Amino acid sequence: ACISTVKAEVSKTIIVSNRLPIKITEDEQGYALQPSEGGLATGLASIHAQGDNSWIGWPGISISDPQQRAYFTSALKEKRLVPLFLDEEEIKGFYEGFSNEVLWPIFHYFPNYANYSLQNWETYVRVNHKFLELILREAGPDDTIWIHDYQLLLLPGMLRKALPDASIGFFQHIPFPSQELFRLIPWRKELLEGMLGADLLGFHTFDDVRHFISSATRLIGTNNNANRLEVDGRPVFVEPFPMGIDSKRFSDLSSAEAVKNRVAELKSNFSGQKIVLSIDRLDYSKGILQRLEAFELFLRENPNFHKKVTLYMIVVPSRDTVPHYRELKDQIDRLVGHINAQYGAYDWYPVAYFYHGYPITEISAVYNVADVCLVTPMRDGMNLVSKEYVASRKDETGVLILSEMAGAAKELIDAVIVNPNNIHDIRNALLTALNMPLAEMKKRMKSMQAIVFKFTVQHWATLFMSRLQEIKNVQSTTKAR
C-alpha cells in the first residue's frame, strides 16, 4: 500500500538485487520455478507485488541455451521479474568468490575466512557492470532504482556515472563492519566509491551507519556533517532503516486450516515434550555449532529435561559450493550425530535435524508449535526469523532467545538476550525460557509483537522510499537556485 503512495510521485521503482525472489531449479524432471531462500527475497516480495514495480536479478542457475533463456525471460516477465543470467565462471568468481568469500566473511567478522583473489574481484566488477547494462535497458528516465546488498556494492557508482540525475537508493541487508575490518579488503576504496554513488544509503542499525561513515571518512577522506556526506558536491545520506517483516502474513498463516492441522500433527508427534526451534540458512555466521554445543551442555547438566525437550533444527541448504559452507555442513552432521548417540534413547532423539528448505506453511506450523525459538547468530544484519516467530504467536505464548549480535536485538529487547559465544549464557537462557511463568512470557511476547506489527516490511519500504524522494526534492530545489 505504502509504495504505491510514493509511486504516484516517483513513477515506478526498479528493485535490483543479486537474486530474484524466484529461482529456476533443475532436476531429473526438468526445470521449475521456486521461491528463493533468505530474508531479502521474502522481505521484498510483498513490496514488488505492488503497482508496476519490477525486479532485476539472477534466477539462481546457469542456463547457456539461448532458447531456454528466452523462454524463462518471457515467463518471468509476466511476473515483472527481469532475469540476469550468469555463466558458470561468473557464478564462481562473482557470487561464490568475491561476494561470499570476501565480503560475507569480512562483513560478518570472520576475517580468517577471506580469500582475496584478484581474479574473483575482476569478475565482481564485470558482473556489477552487467547489472548496469541491464538496468540501462529497463529503466525509464523517472524511475527510481533501489539496489540491494553486498553483491552489488559497485553498482550505485556505475549507475551514477551513466545517469547523473537518477534517483538511486541502496540498502545493505548484512552488517557493515568496523572500519578496522573493512580496511583489510584490498579493494576497499573502490567499494566505498561504488556505494557512494547512491543518494541514500540504508543499513539496519545505527552501528552499521557509524561504521560506514567511519570507513568513508577515514579511508577515502569523504567530508561529512554527521550522517550527510559530501561526494563530488552531491549530498549522500547514510541512515538506519531496521527492516521488518510482513507480520500480517505470518499471523494470518497461523490461523490457516492447513497450518493448524500440521500443528496438531506435530504436537502429537512430540507429545509430552517442549520444542526448542532453530531455523537458519546453512551459514557459519549463524552460530549453529555453538548453539548445538550449548544444547549439549544443557542436556549434560539437566537430566531431568531428557525426553522432555527436543531441539527441532531446520538448516536450509545454502552456498554449499563454497568450501567453508561444505565444511560447516559436515561439522553440524557430526555434532548432531554425537548428541543424538550420546543422549538419545529408543523413544527420543534430542535433536530432530532437517537439512531442507520448506514451504512457508510448514515454517509457520513449526513457529506455532515451538515453545522456544533459539536464534543465536555470531553476527546478523537483522535476522527475520526472530520477527517471524514473534508475529506467528497469536496466543502470545512462546519465548524468543536472541543473540545480541543480531540487528533485531536492538528492537526485540524483551527477548532473552544472549552472547552467542558464551555457551553457558545460552544454557542459562534455555533454562530461563523453559521455566518462564506464563504471565512473564505473555508480557514479553506482547511487547515484542507491538514492535513487529508496527514496524513492518511495508513500513520499512515506505520510509526508505519517501526519504529518498525527500532527498531528491531537496537536491532539485538546490540545483534550481
CA 74, chain centre distance (Å): 28
Residue 454 CB coordination number (10 Å): 10
Span of 31-39, 79-87, 270-278, 417-425 interacting with ligand F6P by CB under 6 A? 31-39
Using CB under 6 A as the binding criterion, the count of chain residues that bind ligand F6P stands at 12
The grid coordinates listed for 182 are 573493512
Span of 38-46, 226-234, 408-416, 446-454 interacting with ligand F6P by CB under 6 A? 38-46
> What secondary structure letter does DSSP report for 303?
G
CB of 442 to ligand F6P, least distance (A): 31
C-alpha–C-alpha distance, residues 459 and 245, integer Å: 9
Q: What angle do CA 377, 380, 385 make, to 5 degrees?
A: 75
C-alpha–C-alpha distance, residues 394 and 57, integer Å: 35
C-alpha–C-alpha distance, residues 300 and 287, integer Å: 20
Work out which of 2, 6, 19, 280 binds ligand F6P, going by CB under 6 A: 19
CB of 451 to ligand F6P, least distance (A): 20
Type of residue at 389: Y
CB of 35 to ligand F6P, least distance (A): 12
Q: Is 58 within 8 Å of 94 (Cβ atoms)?
A: no
Check binding of 149 to ligand F6P (CB under 6 A). yes
Q: Which residue is nearest to ligand F6P (CB)?
A: 38
In terms of CB distance, is 193 or 280 closer to ligand F6P?
Answer: 280
Helices assigned H by DSSP within 323-455:
323-343, 360-369, 384-392, 423-434, 438-454
Q: Is 449 within 8 Å of 391 (Cβ atoms)?
A: yes
User: Under rule CB under 6 A, which residues in 153-192 are in contact with ligand F6P?
Assistant: 173-174
Q: Is 275 within 8 Å of 315 (Cβ atoms)?
A: no
Work out which of 14, 20, 38, 166 binds ligand F6P, going by CB under 6 A: 38
Check binding of 39 to ligand F6P (CB under 6 A). yes
CB of 39 to ligand F6P, least distance (A): 4
In terms of CB distance, is 41 or 47 closer to ligand F6P?
Answer: 41
Check binding of 387 to ligand F6P (CB under 6 A). no
C-alpha–C-alpha distance, residues 115 and 127, integer Å: 18
CB of 94 to ligand F6P, least distance (A): 11
C-alpha–C-alpha distance, residues 56 and 127, integer Å: 13
Span of 33-41, 81-89, 175-183, 227-235 interacting with ligand F6P by CB under 6 A? 33-41
Active-site annotation, residues: 173, 380
Check binding of 379 to ligand F6P (CB under 6 A). no
In terms of CB distance, is 348 or 355 closer to ligand F6P?
Answer: 355
C-alpha–C-alpha distance, residues 226 and 58, integer Å: 36
In terms of CB distance, is 298 or 325 closer to ligand F6P?
Answer: 325
Check binding of 380 to ligand F6P (CB under 6 A). no
In terms of CB distance, is 335 or 402 closer to ligand F6P?
Answer: 402
In terms of CB distance, is 310 or 383 closer to ligand F6P?
Answer: 383
CB of 41 to ligand F6P, least distance (A): 6
In terms of CB distance, is 348 or 354 closer to ligand F6P?
Answer: 354
Contacts with ligand F6P, 315-334, as mask; x by CB under 6 A: ---xx---------------
3-state secondary structure of 373: strand
Span of 32-40, 86-94, 243-251, 396-404 interacting with ligand F6P by CB under 6 A? 32-40
The grid coordinates listed for 478 are 538546490
Long-range contacts from 300-304, C-beta under 8 angstroms, 24+ separation = 300/343, 301/427, 302/431
User: Under rule CB under 6 A, which residues in 210-249 are in contact with ligand F6P?
Assistant: none
3-state secondary structure of 386: helix
User: Under rule CB under 6 A, which residues in 272-291 are in contact with ligand F6P?
Assistant: none
CA 358, chain centre distance (Å): 17
C-alpha–C-alpha distance, residues 104 and 232, integer Å: 29
In terms of CB distance, is 38 or 407 closer to ligand F6P?
Answer: 38
CB of 38 to ligand F6P, least distance (A): 3
End-to-end CA gap in the chain:
34
CB of 81 to ligand F6P, least distance (A): 14
Tell me the C-alpha to C-alpha distance, in Å, between residue 263 and each of 256, 359, 433: 11, 14, 21
**Contact residues: ligand F6P, CB under 6 A:** 18-19, 37-41, 149, 173-174, 318-319
